[in-house]
Structure 1
Amino acid sequence: MTADEGALIIDTRQAEARLAVSRHACRLFWENGVTRTSGDDIASAAGLSTRTIWRYFRSKESCVEPLLSRSTQRFLGVLDRWPPELSLAEHLAVDMAAHPLSPEEVADEMAGLRIATMTRSDAALRTAYLMVHDELEQGFIPVIARRLDLPEDDLTVRVCAAAVTGAFRVIDEDVSRAVIVDGRRFTQSEVLSLIDCAIRDATNGRLGGPVTS
């Protein structure tokens, strides 16, 4: 085994451990509230020492980031597979059928929805939530650059990435509240329509449709 391979194994194990902690933290925050959940509580649930928790995370609220980031990276993967000849709504429908969520991924998505509903009342938790949306914004840049056939550092690309991220955050918060708080159910077509409208509105129609030559 090379040094690089060994480092990769260590990084992968740490990422898996951080995700496991994140799942416990999200559950405890939802069940007990953020203020009534301590780092000790999270460590105990994860079967780790509190010292290890603080080695992995800068604060208890930041423990939610790996779970939220996993959802973000999964969505960016979907966008990375977006072919030029399809609209976003068409691609999402096809891709969701070809790459269905596993039960574990569905559980993570529900946990993320719960956390999103809590961020309005907890500033530290919202900071962690917005950190992940910054990750989403950076991930949008190469996707948008390809769709618009512009350099990644082009101002239009960066403005579109920021606008789309903001629109998606609003949808995430609205849908999360509707599902978790109000008990509403959304069909796949309703969700796809919301996403499609968001990206078109946020970019004044520049994105969302197929790429035309």
Structure 2
Amino acid sequence: MSRIACDLFWERGVAATTGDDIAAEAGLSTRTIWRYFRCKESCVEPVLALSAKRFIGLAERWPAELSLAEHMAADMIENPLSEREIADEVAALRIATMSATEPALRTSYLMVHDEMERAFVPVIARRLGLPDDDLTARLCAAAVTAAFRVVDEDVGRRAIVDKEKVTQEEALALIDRAIRDATNGRLGGPVTVK
């Protein structure tokens, strides 16, 4: 149903899509939609959460000797996305792009990023050799999550709206730069294991 909501919002627009439309396309009652979602825009959160969960899984596999961009490139080869996962990533980028002008959609988008940030704190804490509740680990998680959000919005707009070809290398370079800039160089690159 979340995938259906993403598709309908992209094809028709948020204003032109109702909860009834989402329910009908999903073969569910409208009442069922409202039982599980606080508003029609929140129907996209499960697809966005899949993308966030994939990133956290990738981050948990991040070896100390590689930068995040290097790890992402290698991990994409070792753990390629299925066609369904690629379609979900495209849907998530579309929602990221649309969220710039749709406040209610933005709320759902940011709520998922908040959950991703919380899940990223222990990954960063381990990487920096800090306790999970350390302020630096929490600040770095917030900065990295914000950097990813900005890159996703930029790449999404360029690739999906402007139809510009954005290579994997270019996207990874943007991620690398954004993370290093956002954390003042503290995170993104390889670390020395003590």
- TM-score bucket (shorter structure): over 0.9
Residues 1:191 and 2:171 are matched in the alignment:
yes
Q: Distance in 1 between matches of 2:126 and 2:178?
A: 19
Residues 1:88 and 2:68 are matched in the alignment:
yes
Deviation at 1:91, TM superposition (A): 1.1
Deviation at 1:144, TM superposition (A): 0.6
Residues 1:75 and 2:43 are matched in the alignment:
no
Number of aligned residues: 193
State the partner residue of 2:131: 151
State the partner residue of 2:34: 54
- Matched residue type, 2:125: A
Residues 1:136 and 2:112 are matched in the alignment:
no
What's the C-alpha RMSD, in Å, of the aligned pairs? 0.9
Q: Distance in 2 between matches of 1:200 and 1:118?
A: 27
Deviation at 1:202, TM superposition (A): 0.9
State the partner residue of 1:207: 187
C-alpha offsets along residues 77-111 of structure 1, whole Å, 9 cap, x if unaligned? 00000011222122111111000111111111111
- Matched residue type, 2:112: V
Counterpart secondary structure, 1:146: helix
Q: In structure 2, list runs of 5 or more residues that go unmatched.
A: none
Q: Distance in 2 between matches of 1:116 and 1:90?
A: 24
Q: In structure 1, list runs of 5 or more residues that go unmatched.
A: 1-20
Q: Distance in 2 between matches of 1:89 and 1:49?
A: 44
Counterpart secondary structure, 1:138: helix
State the partner residue of 2:141: 161
Q: Distance in 1 between matches of 2:68 and 2:96?
A: 24
Q: Distance in 2 between matches of 1:28 and 1:73?
A: 23
Residues 1:42 and 2:22 are matched in the alignment:
yes
Q: Distance in 1 between matches of 2:173 and 2:134?
A: 28
Identity level (%)? 70
Q: Distance in 2 between matches of 1:81 and 1:69?
A: 19
Aligned partners of 2:6 and 2:95 also within 8 Å:
yes
- Higher-Rg member (1/2): 1
Moved over 4 A (4+): none
- Matched residue type, 2:81: L
Q: Distance in 2 between matches of 1:209 and 1:32?
A: 42
- Matched residue type, 1:96: M
State the partner residue of 1:115: 95
Counterpart secondary structure, 2:39: coil
Deviation at 1:163, TM superposition (A): 1.1
C-alpha offsets along residues 8-37 of structure 1, whole Å, 9 cap, x if unaligned? xxxxxxxxxxxxx10000111111111111
Deviation at 1:46, TM superposition (A): 0.3
Q: 114-123 vs 127-136, which deviates more?
A: 114-123
